[in-house]
Amino acid sequence: MKIVSVVGARPNFVKIAPLVQQFTERGINHMLVHTGQHYDYDMSKVFFSDLNLPKPDKNLGVGSGTHAVQTGRMMAELEKVFLEENPDLIVVVGDVNSTLAAAIPNCYLHLRRTQF
């Protein structure tokens, strides 16, 4: 089984940490994708070190912009990732732009998704 988890903002990092730990302990093929919604040290990198999260397998580096611009960029890039990786399951957590951006292409591509 291949799982892709999508994160991008401070609340996502806190919520995904225990799941990533379980995936690792159980030997599950897992890919962590960071959209880049939050990108500076205090809003992103500090959480990876404090929560012992591995460096993301992909960082989309979307950066700032209006909610629509940011979400649109994320959707386009995440669709590419989903098509390349063809995961069995996509995991999204929370209710931020990154969560929405992962859910929409996921629905169009008819992939399995779970949200916490």
> What structural domains does the chain harbor?
2-115 (3.40.50.2000)
Least confident of 1-5, 51-55, 102-106: 51-55
Tokens standing for residue 16? 């995904």
- Residue range 65-76: mean pLDDT, rounded: 94
- Residue 55, sorted as left (phi over 0), alpha (psi -120 to 50) or beta, turns out to be beta
Backbone angles phi, psi at 40, to 5 degrees: -85, 170
Helices (H) then strands (E): counts for the chain: 4, 5
In this predicted structure, what is the pLDDT of residue 45?
A: 67
The pTM assigned to this predicted structure is 0.89
- Residue range 85-99: mean pLDDT, rounded: 93
In this predicted structure, what is the pLDDT of residue 115?
A: 61
